[in-house]
Structure 1
Amino acid sequence: MARYTGPRCRLCRREGMKLFLKGERCYTDKCAFERRSYPPGQHGQAQLRVKLSDYGIRLREKQKVKRIYGVSEKQFRRYFERATRMKGQAGHNLLQLLERRLDNVVYRLGFAASRSQARQMVAHGWFKVNGRTVDIPSYLVDPGEVIELKEKYRNNPQIQENLEAVVRRGVPQWLELDAENFRGTVKALPTREDITMPIQESLIVEFYSR
């Protein structure tokens, strides 16, 4: 499946906000968005004066959320279609499905500095879910499931560094981290209040409903 492999800071600049795609670097002065907060490209600064159409506003919101969670267009469309079949508001359901992805949960628990790093760790079989190895980043966790780092990776300096840095980011209330035993528990399904990024999911619903 094709996946974006170019400069990640370029995506933040394109969406006009920090998407925190590069982990700790996003919190430092080295962050490219801090130095150049206008869109990338030769005419990037000129684009700041361009007023988006209603379609453009909704497209940008969809692109922003898709890039935050690192999923492809085809995957994102599938998540939306599944969200519309669930009870409740389609926008809230969509965000809940994205939050329940195993790579996102690994990132949220603090084992990884970014979702892309978490995706790589999961794909390489670093984690167990309820005692069984799961190497599918899109695996959807359920309440009561336990995500555990395999013992042979627990002395990895990157893991140690990431767990120390999670204090800055915090662990959402629907998850519980046991850092000493390198495991996390899904206490409940994520709610809309657990998602702190400035996302207007209603615009995404309108985009696909046009």
Structure 2
Amino acid sequence: MARYRGPTCKLARRLGTDLQLKSGIRALDSKCKLATPPGMQPAKRGRLSEYGVLLRQKQLIRHTYGILERQFRLYYTKASKRKGITGENLLKLLECRLDNVVYRMGFASTRAEARQLVSHRAVKVNSTIVNIPSYQVKVGDVIEIKEKSKSQTRIQAAIELTKQKPQPAWIDVDSTQLQGVFKLIPERSELPLEFNENLVVEYYSK
């Protein structure tokens, strides 16, 4: 399974924002100096070009979901062929990824950790083990952690962290049974993301 394996703080610092790639156990500012870009610091940072702004937004969304360029482009192509607004379609496709749903349900503290749980066959969809992180979850699907994996320390730690956050309206989670239902595909207004997906559409349209 291809994925980014480099330093995650470096990515966050380059984009100047929290990509939610780190566990919330420690405050992010104690791990990554978000206000300071990586590398030697110039006397004055140059202003981004129009292309740079578009590229930055594309990279922000791509790295937040932990997806490589080729796969991200495939998601964009699929989104552009669907009815509706391409940018919103793109975000909805990304939100329906199994690894993202596992993360949203609080069974993992990061998407990378959720991806690993799925790959290691610790996650079931409708009582069947699914080990494909990109699997598209459908409305009504029941997601659960398999019995043998429920005692994992990292899963229990993630559940405790999740209790401190509001639960997304499009999922219903039983944190005791480590089971959840994907109730509906979220609308753009419901997504807790500070993305400008229209810039991604503009980037690929050039």
**TM surpasses 0.5:** yes
TM-score (normalised: structure 1)? 0.93
**CA–CA separation in structure 2 for the residues paired with 1:177 and 1:29:** 29
Distance 1:25 1:15, change over 3 A: farther
Give the aligned length: 206
- Contact 1:100/1:190 (8 A) holds in 2: no
**CA–CA separation in structure 1 for the residues paired with 2:28 and 2:51:** 34
Segments of 5+ residues of structure 1 without an aligned counterpart are none
Post-superposition CA distance 1:65-119 (Å, at most 9, x none):
0000000100000000000011100000000000000000000000001000000
**CA–CA separation in structure 1 for the residues paired with 2:50 and 2:25:** 33
Greater share of residues in helix: 1
Aligned to 2:59: 63
Segments of 5+ residues of structure 2 without an aligned counterpart are none
**CA–CA separation in structure 2 for the residues paired with 1:26 and 1:62:** 27
- Contact 2:22/2:28 (8 A) holds in 1: no
- Contact 2:124/2:145 (8 A) holds in 1: yes
**CA–CA separation in structure 2 for the residues paired with 1:4 and 1:25:** 22
After TM superposition, give the deviation of residue 28 of structure 1 in Å: 4.7
Aligned to 2:184: 188
- Partner-residue secondary structure (3-state), 1:61: helix
**CA–CA separation in structure 1 for the residues paired with 2:135 and 2:124:** 12
Q: Map residues 105-116 of structure 1 onto 2, 5 A cutoff.
A: 105-116=101-112
**CA–CA separation in structure 1 for the residues paired with 2:40 and 2:15:** 16
**CA–CA separation in structure 2 for the residues paired with 1:3 and 1:131:** 27
- Partner-residue secondary structure (3-state), 1:205: helix
**CA–CA separation in structure 1 for the residues paired with 2:87 and 2:81:** 12
Within the alignment, does 1:139 sit opposite 2:112 as a pair? no
TM-score (normalised: structure 2)? 0.95
RMSD: 1.5
Aligned to 1:31: 31
After TM superposition, give the deviation of residue 170 of structure 1 in Å: 2.7
Distance 1:209 1:29, change over 3 A: closer
- Partner-residue secondary structure (3-state), 2:180: strand
Aligned to 2:79: 83
Work out which of the residue numbers 133, 152, 155 in structure 2 matches 1:156: 152
Distance 1:95 1:11, change over 3 A: same
After TM superposition, give the deviation of residue 124 of structure 1 in Å: 0.5
- Partner-residue secondary structure (3-state), 2:30: coil
After TM superposition, give the deviation of residue 25 of structure 1 in Å: 4.7
**CA–CA separation in structure 2 for the residues paired with 1:156 and 1:6:** 25
**CA–CA separation in structure 1 for the residues paired with 2:166 and 2:94:** 18
Tell me the percent identity. Answer: 46
Aligned to 2:22: 22
